[in-house]
Amino acid sequence: MRITSKAFKSRAREKVLDLSARQRYRGATQHSVEARNRVVQDVLNWEELRETARILKAQSIEQLADLLQQLEEHASANGIHVHWAETDQEACNHVIEIARRQHASLIVKSKSMVSEEIFLSHALEKEGIETVETDLGEFIVQLAGELPFHITTPAIHKSREDIGKLFANKLGVPYTSEPTELTKIAREVLREKFLKAQIGISGGNFAIAETGQIVIVENEGNARLTITLPRIHIAILGIEKVIPRLEDLSTFLAILARSATGQRITSYVSLIRGPKQQGEIDGPDEVHLILLDNGRSDILADRKMREVLYCIRCGACLNVCPVYQVVGGHTYGSVYPGPIGSAFTPLMASLEEAKDLPYASSLCGRCAEICPVKIDVHHLLLWLRRKAVEERLSNLFERLIVQLWCMIMKNLQLYRIASKFARVLQAFLPKRDSVLPVPIWSKSRDFPRLAPKTFRELWREVED
Amino acid sequence: MAAEARANILNRVRRNLAVGVFRAGTKPASFEMQRTADRPNLQKPPIEVFEEELTLVGGTFQRVSSQEQLCDALRKVCDRGGYQNIAVSQEPLIEELQVAENLQRFLTGARVSKLNSLDPMDELRSADAGVTACEFLIAETGTIVLRSSPLVPRSLSLLPHAHIVIATEEQLFPTLVSCVPKLQHRLVQSPASSCTTLVTGPSRTADIEKVLVRGVHGPRELHVFVLVKSEEPR
């Protein structure tokens, strides 16, 4: 996974100053949260539903190896070709191999985070194969040459005017900023591509071990077209997407649509059983399922972090995150932005490369509160901070300050002397400054003045 | 190399899982979603719930009690939409009701196809309305369950501008959960199907400034007609 999270701080510093962008992000995320809250309200036992979903995911992960084998067996029996990929490169190679065999020149893609993760479009372009994103948001982002801004609504950072200009520029259509018109333009451009493409590539929200089905959840119908019209369909799924039974799906559908878009169910849920059956008029001749590891199996070794693999990619934690709302999706420098991305990215890349991400959180816990599968996101971030310190990824100055602070806090005498000292010192500063100029710290945070009297002193006065 | 990747992944998963569980839990024996009376109001008869939910997501619903009523309603929908090329599936219910024949009779100038020509894909590409039956209806969400088969291609409910569904009241289930056993049964019993699709309303997006737009890649219109047994003859 190519990530540029090292620049998180500098990018965030810039973003914080862009007030109009902040307003847009805030509006969009709030809109999503309100829609989600409305539909969650009419489930009286929502907490029970979350708990059920969490346990189902936990159980799936605990028996992952067995479920993957079951999935492979049943999918193969249905006529699906199952491939395994240890790394992003291997997954891309599988796709390229299939594409070469078919002499494919045009590939349509429906929205898939995993394909972003492995930079598939890039790999295919190097092969000289045109690859077109067909989800409206992804299409916009692809035209602009950017990464998705959000897991479920990738182009939410762009205004309708931005998109109008982009379409006029890149597609040579007359300028319009009307969402209905823009959507129509995209429909026409992409319909052509659908009809011509030799291969359709999709992700998948779930794979059912018991039946060998691949499940795709969407609203636009582009995934349905992707898996129906081209002669070959390739689905790429992270290994954590497997669930045991078909009956478990109703729980996940209920919880995913509500959390992601505030719908009770999405417009379309496709359950792919296999290639075109005898007598059928349409559907692909070949269906390939690529099961991607790319670091996921290593995450399992950390019992605490393991639960990041429960994530169903609804994007709800992004919408409620006070940090995401200010800095937006691109600042994280990862395909997976927001709180869950900050927990996932350091594990996928390395903690060193993404060491700022666990700190991109106020630890307020709204992410954990809204997570439909109850991932304890902010505690996982805290855990990663701890690991970062243990691996000595923090800078020397910070380590010294913290050590000094620990020393003082552990010793009552020392604490009293130090606080007295600080109080005396602050008296020399101009009275109008309500915060203290502590180096580095107060560049982006307040360090409030110490109160003139300590609590103990006040207490004594009251007693007297 | 391929076999190696498989073995490596499975081994790694097994080995890393063996370090133990951090926080386990057991699934409650049975879980049932409990909902407020507002939406969906499951106290009402399922057919009314279905109508309400489907209408709210942008579909239209009509109850019909006879073949004549159905024809009349179909004709009106097709007239209003100005559909010139109508493709019709060959599913038993549609055949039995002679939908294609009736449409052809009542719609002057329109082309009605049963997709039995040499190039059915070509007809599908040019169709502006597709008529199909369905497997089940799910009341709680206003959902239609479609299963592809030699009699009904997947594109028929996907490529045209409008998707028209004809169903009977017996196909209605109150919730998705109650429908799953049937779904599973069909999967095993009649395997000549590459894809099952749950359809809830027309195709939609909110990718541009969160503004809801209907009819992105799939049909912009979804019309559902449900045949009910009428008590009094019309």
**pLDDT beyond 70 at B52:** yes
Asked whether the beta carbons of residue A28 and residue B209 sit closer than 8 angstroms, the reply is: yes
* B213 has a chain A CB within 8 A of its CB: yes
Interface predicted TM-score (ipTM): 0.94
pLDDT-wise least confident of A347-351, A431-435, B209-213: A431-435
Q: What angle do CA A361, A362, A363 make, to 5 degrees?
A: 85
A90·B5 Cβ contact <8 A: yes
B185 has a chain A CB within 8 A of its CB? no
Q: Cα A445 to the chain's mean position, in Å?
A: 27
Instruction: Kindly list the distances between the CA atom of residue A115 and the CA atoms of A4, A111, A195, A203, A293, in Å, as whole numbers in the listed order.
Output: 18, 8, 22, 7, 13
Interface of B with A in 77-96 (CB under 8 A): none
Condensed to tens digits (0 to 9), the pLDDT of residues B80-135 reads 999 999 999 999 999 999 999 999 998 888 999 999 888 899 899 999 999 999 99
At residue A447's C-alpha, the angle toward residues A445 and A452, to 5°, is 160
Give the separation between CA B168 and CA A371, rounded to whole angstroms.
39
Q: What is the pLDDT of residues A140-155, one digit of tens each?
A: 999 999 888 888 889 9
pLDDT in tens, A56-88: 999 999 999 999 999 999 999 999 999 999 999
Query: Is the minimum CB–CB distance between B42 and chain A shorter than 8 Å?
Result: no
Token pair recorded at residue A449: 């003045």
Q: Which of A309-313, A454-458, B146-150 has the lowest mean pLDDT?
A: A454-458
pLDDT at residue B234 tops 50? no
Q: pLDDT of A214-250, one tens digit each? A: 999 999 999 999 999 999 999 999 999 999 999 999 9
pLDDT at residue B78 in the model: 94
Q: Tell me which chain A residues have a C-beta less than 8 angstroms from the C-beta of B10.
A: 65, 68-69
pTM of the model: 0.93
- Write the CB contacts of A420 (distance below 8 Å, at least 6 apart in sequence): none
- Across chain A, what does the average pLDDT equal? 93
Q: What percent of chain B shows pLDDT beyond 70?
A: 93
CA-based angle A152:A153:A155, to the nearest 5?
A: 145
Shortest distance between the Cα of A254 and any Cα of chain B, in A, equals 9
SS3 of residue A395 by DSSP: coil
